[in-house]
Amino acid sequence: MDEFEIGKPVGQCFGTWRRIMCSEEYFCGSFGKNSSLLLLLVILFFALGLSLSGCTQELQRGSPAVQDSLKVKLGTNSKAIDTDGDGLCDFQEIHKYLTNPTKKDSDGDGISDGDWNEQREYSYSVRTILQFMPPFNKAALNDDFQDARVLEKRDDYIELEVIHYPLSTAGKSIDENANWQQDYAGMTEYLKPGVTTNWDAKMRQDLLAELKADGIFIDKLTDKEVVEQVPSWLLKKSRYLGKVFTTFYVYCPNGQPKIYPGLESAFEHEFNRDKDNYDWTIEEHFDYELLGKGMFYNKTHGSCTSFAVYLTTVLRAIGIPARMIMVNPVVDASTREQLRMVKDRITHNRIRETMLAGLRRSDKGFTNHTFNEVYVGNRWCRLNYKKLGQHILDPHQFGLQTHLYTFNDLSEANLASSWGRRYAEGERNAVFKHSNPYSAVTISDLFGCHSDIQNPPFTASDLSPGSLPNIYVMSSSHPGFDIFAEIFEIVKDATSNKTGRYHEKKSYDEVFVDGIWGKKPGDIIVLLFSLDREGRVPSEYEDLLAQPWSATEATLKKGKTVELQGKARDLYVILLAAPTGQQLRQLVRESKLLKKI
């Protein structure tokens, strides 16, 4: 039997740490034949002024270890403690690896739990080999949900081996600290203003006054309460600039934001997409989408990167340490081959279907996401807009996320020279042949040899058990606007999974042959055409057309539009066609058939 001491987790006694219902942990095992140990534990707990029931309650709700509940051991929080010296902190051993935090070698095979392969033996994990364009910072790749190591580093890409732990319960075990203002005051690296996170004393004073006027009294809140309330308040108070995305086109030489050389036209194009609704000039735009203080006073923000900068600025001004992270899907969802890898190689049924559901929402091209990490309860936690504890497994957020980059200020990220340029210019090369600046080489999963992870049947319909249909949109190539976004906005409340593709045989095969998209009877397929753009239904799928293409084409040549509906292959079919791409856009916006869905 292993010894124990107050302030450390109780040692393993003829048992192992196990998961309850994939979200909670408890210690499973016997205390041995000498029941006096249990009496001794009770006496010790009462000596510390704790009840046994209270401690049991802590353990049952997934508390990282007994010493976290007791909060002794020199007054430190055990989430940073490595009790057994295996190189893995106690918190992650319980919530991520499911190994015993009091035993350096949980299975007694002579290899430390901290070994790269050994730490997977009690859990379920997904392994990917990923290539991606710089930027890159190795120090921030390992967190509560993944481990990563560099296999190769070249000028044009980095190759990583990433181990994801999609059943980690770290996000459900966030403590709060009432003394956060004093405890975090020394974390100046994550509190100080930056080039883009440029808060100052006046902004802090004005911010606290606005919060107080709306009934949010920062001094009376714990750190967790602050980060649960302030993001929602910001979103309600701010205008979303949904049609503009310039943050990847900016760099900051000598601490001053400027448009990256060669990306001026791309920046102007983005600004012009909605300039009729702006009461500011392009020269003033930084203060509306890029710079935190400007966004605060103008009450605006752009897409995810913009809001992450805005939120970092505000939280730091309040006194909450904050930084930003970039994540992307585990594979490039714009490529059929990588989607097939997920479908064919991920054997955990729920994980696979969750990944595919997220990838369906990420398949239209350049895809990544920037959000925040905040220091709450004496550890770094993910904050995605207003969702504290964002998990890497999420059908609405890429399916399964890979954490690629962490930065304190957007000026440090150097995105414009790589990701920004690629996005602006539609750059392709031998390594990254498609839309995204990353690509998966391989993917696989592992049920650890000591794991007790169940794998019951699970289908795509189990993720959205309601009656909403999926929708598939097939379009002529690049009609000059984001036609998928236009349609998905119209049908957002009436459909479940939404997939956009161009008229290519492989796109139709994904739906009807590969089974990647989880097609079911009653789903909807929308076929879009314009005479001035390439792309027609492949001959193998012409039975989807409500009338022969020759009849539709003849109508279009007369300058008229076509709007038809029908049923084929157990799907409801909507056909919208116009002589030009701009006329097609107007037809989409006015379509009675789309609005009836």
> What proportion of the chain, given as a percentage, has pLDDT over 90?
72
Average pLDDT estimate for 467-495 = 86
pLDDT at 557: 97
Average pLDDT estimate for 347-370 = 89
pLDDT at 479: 59
State both tokens at 347: 């054997």
Which of the four pLDDT bands, split at 50, 70 and 90, describes residue 76?
A: very low
The yes-or-no verdict on residue 248 having pLDDT over 80 is yes
Segment 486-534, tens digit of pLDDT? 899 999 999 988 888 889 998 899 899 888 877 889 999 999 999 999 8
Average pLDDT estimate for 342-367 = 90
527 and 545 in contact (C-beta within 8 Å)? yes
Q: In this structure, what DSSP letter does residue 87 have?
A: S
CA 348 vs CA 92, 123, 124, 397, 417: distances in Å:
22, 12, 9, 19, 39
The yes-or-no verdict on residue 431 having pLDDT over 70 is yes
State both tokens at 125: 């994990």
Whole-number Å distance between alpha carbons of 532 and 144: 50
- Establish whether the linkage from the previous residue to 257 is cis, with ω within 30° of 0: no
Q: In this structure, what DSSP letter does residue 199 have?
A: -
Query: What rounded mean pLDDT belongs to the chain?
Result: 86
- Identity of the highest mean pLDDT range in 22-36, 103-117, 463-477: 103-117
Report the DSSP pairing between strands 399-407 and 322-329: antiparallel
Whole-number Å distance between alpha carbons of 121 and 125: 9
428 and 145 in contact (C-beta within 8 Å)? no
Average pLDDT estimate for 275-287 = 93
The yes-or-no verdict on residue 328 having pLDDT over 70 is yes
Whole-number Å distance between alpha carbons of 454 and 141: 28
pLDDT at 364: 66
Average pLDDT estimate for 225-240 = 98
What value does the CA radius of gyration of the chain take, rounded to a whole number of Å? 27
CA atoms within 13 A on the CB side of 351: 28
Q: Which residue has the tokens 């379509």?
A: 591
CA 436 vs CA 262, 333, 368, 397, 529: distances in Å:
20, 9, 9, 16, 26
Which of the four pLDDT bands, split at 50, 70 and 90, describes residue 331?
A: very high
The yes-or-no verdict on residue 6 having pLDDT over 60 is no
Which of the four pLDDT bands, split at 50, 70 and 90, describes residue 18?
A: very low
Domain 466-596 = CATH 3.30.379: yes
- Identity of the highest mean pLDDT range in 8-17, 46-55, 463-472: 463-472
Average pLDDT estimate for 256-269 = 96
- Max Cα-Cα span within the chain: 93
Which of the four pLDDT bands, split at 50, 70 and 90, describes residue 363?
A: low
Average pLDDT estimate for 525-548 = 95
Return the higher-pLDDT residue of 351 and 80: 351
Which of the four pLDDT bands, split at 50, 70 and 90, describes residue 61?
A: very low
pLDDT at 80: 76
pLDDT at 341: 96
Which of the four pLDDT bands, split at 50, 70 and 90, describes residue 125?
A: very high
pLDDT at 162: 98
State both tokens at 94: 């319980």
Q: Which positions ≥6 away from 190 have C-beta within 8 Å?
A: 316, 321, 322, 323, 375, 408
Domain boundaries, the chain: 15-112, 178-326+361-423, 466-596
With both helix axes pointing from N to C terminus, report the angle between 336-345 and 349-360 in degrees, rounded to the nearest 10: 160
Looking at 331-440, list the stretches that DSSP marks H as alpha helix, in order from N- to C-terminal side.
336-345, 349-360, 421-425
Which of the four pLDDT bands, split at 50, 70 and 90, describes residue 102?
A: very high
pLDDT at 526: 98
> Per-residue DSSP letters for 521-544?
TT-EEEEEEETTS-----GGGGGG
367 and 328 in contact (C-beta within 8 Å)? yes
Average pLDDT estimate for 554-562 = 97
Which of the four pLDDT bands, split at 50, 70 and 90, describes residue 296?
A: very high
Segment 25-51, tens digit of pLDDT? 333 333 333 444 444 443 443 444 433
> Per-residue DSSP letters for 327-360?
EEESS-TT-HHHHHHHHHH---HHHHHHHHHHHH
pLDDT at 530: 95
528 and 576 in contact (C-beta within 8 Å)? yes
Whole-number Å distance between alpha carbons of 254 and 210: 33
State both tokens at 503: 């008229």
149 torsion bin: left (phi>0), alpha (psi -120 to 50), beta (else): beta
Which of the four pLDDT bands, split at 50, 70 and 90, describes residue 10?
A: very low
Return the higher-pLDDT residue of 298 and 515: 298
pLDDT at 174: 96
Whole-number Å distance between alpha carbons of 332 and 345: 15
pLDDT at 249: 97
Average pLDDT estimate for 144-153 = 97
First to last CA, the chain: 64
pLDDT at 503: 94
pLDDT at 423: 92
Segment 184-223, tens digit of pLDDT? 999 999 999 999 999 999 999 999 999 999 999 999 999 9
**Chain centre distance of CA 386:** 13
Residue environment code for 574-589, b if the CB has 16+ CB neighbours within 10 A, otherwise e: bbbbbbbbebbbebbe
The yes-or-no verdict on residue 13 having pLDDT over 80 is no
Architecture of domain 178-326+361-423: Roll (3.10)
Report the DSSP pairing between strands 524-530 and 471-475: parallel
The yes-or-no verdict on residue 457 having pLDDT over 80 is yes
